[in-house]
């Protein structure tokens, strides 16, 4: 191989990297990503068996706050630690009445109520029962598919949650969780 051919190959490699890297980076930062699910809080939907097998989900990141629906599984920035991501199911949206562990309350504008699927988990589920309504601005994306392990490959259902039991209260108190 001639020296000119080697230099031409190097130039091509640099040019290809300069084009492919920013496009790939943009796709995985802003459009779609694949994330590993930790813990048992979303069992049986995610990580249904022992801890040695973890689900990986496809996360669609182009999610407008107004497109979030009850039943969606969303990835959020933790309201307690912005370095941590959580995956939970949307139970209620703004204006809905929920029965929190404290008392019934109405979800404020621009917020949603998130809960874990596993209500029998021994661990404390970090969800809206702990930190209250979550700002829709913290939603990082919607989980749409399980992509790993191969035997679990499937589309995730946005099944609507079971309706909450009827409240004996005529009206709900406004939310008094610390939203700041």
Compute the C-alpha angle 142/45/99, nearest 5°.
80
State the catalytic residue, choosing from 41, 100, 116, 128: 41
Which tokens go with 12? 């091509």
DSSP state of 126: -
State the catalytic residue, choosing from 67, 88, 102, 157: 88
CA distance 127 to 114: 6
Q: Which residues pair with 145 in a beta bridge?
A: 58, 155
CA distance 89 to 46: 11
Nearest to residue 144, comparing CAs of 33, 15, 3? Answer: 33
β-bridge pairing 85-93 and 134-135: unpaired
61 is a catalytic site residue? no
Cα-based distances in Å from 8 to 14, 61, 139, 161:
10, 38, 45, 59
52 is a catalytic site residue? no
- Return the active site residues: 41, 88
């Amino acid at each position: 191989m001639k020296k000119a051919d080697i230099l031409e190959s190097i130039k091509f490699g640099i040019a290809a990297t300069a084009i492919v890297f920013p496009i790939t980076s943009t796709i995985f930062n802003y459009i779609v990503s694949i994330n590993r699910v930790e813990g048992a809080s979303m069992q049986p939907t995610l990580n249904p068996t022992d801890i040695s097998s973890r689900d990986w989900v496809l996360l669609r990141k182009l999610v407008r706050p107004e497109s979030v629906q009850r039943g969606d599984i969303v990835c959020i920035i933790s309201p307690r630690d912005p370095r941590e991501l959580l995956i939970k199911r949307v139970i209620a949206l703004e204006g809905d009445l929920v029965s929190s562990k404290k008392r019934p309350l109405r979800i404020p504008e621009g917020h949603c109520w998130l809960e874990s699927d596993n209500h029998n988990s021994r661990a404390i589920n970090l969800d809206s029962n702990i930190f209250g309504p979550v700002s829709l601005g913290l939603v990082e994306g919607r989980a749409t598919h399980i992509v790993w392990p191969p035997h679990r490959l499937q589309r995730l259902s946005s099944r609507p949650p079971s309706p909450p039991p009827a409240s004996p209260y005529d009206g709900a108190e406004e939310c008094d969780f610390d939203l700041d």
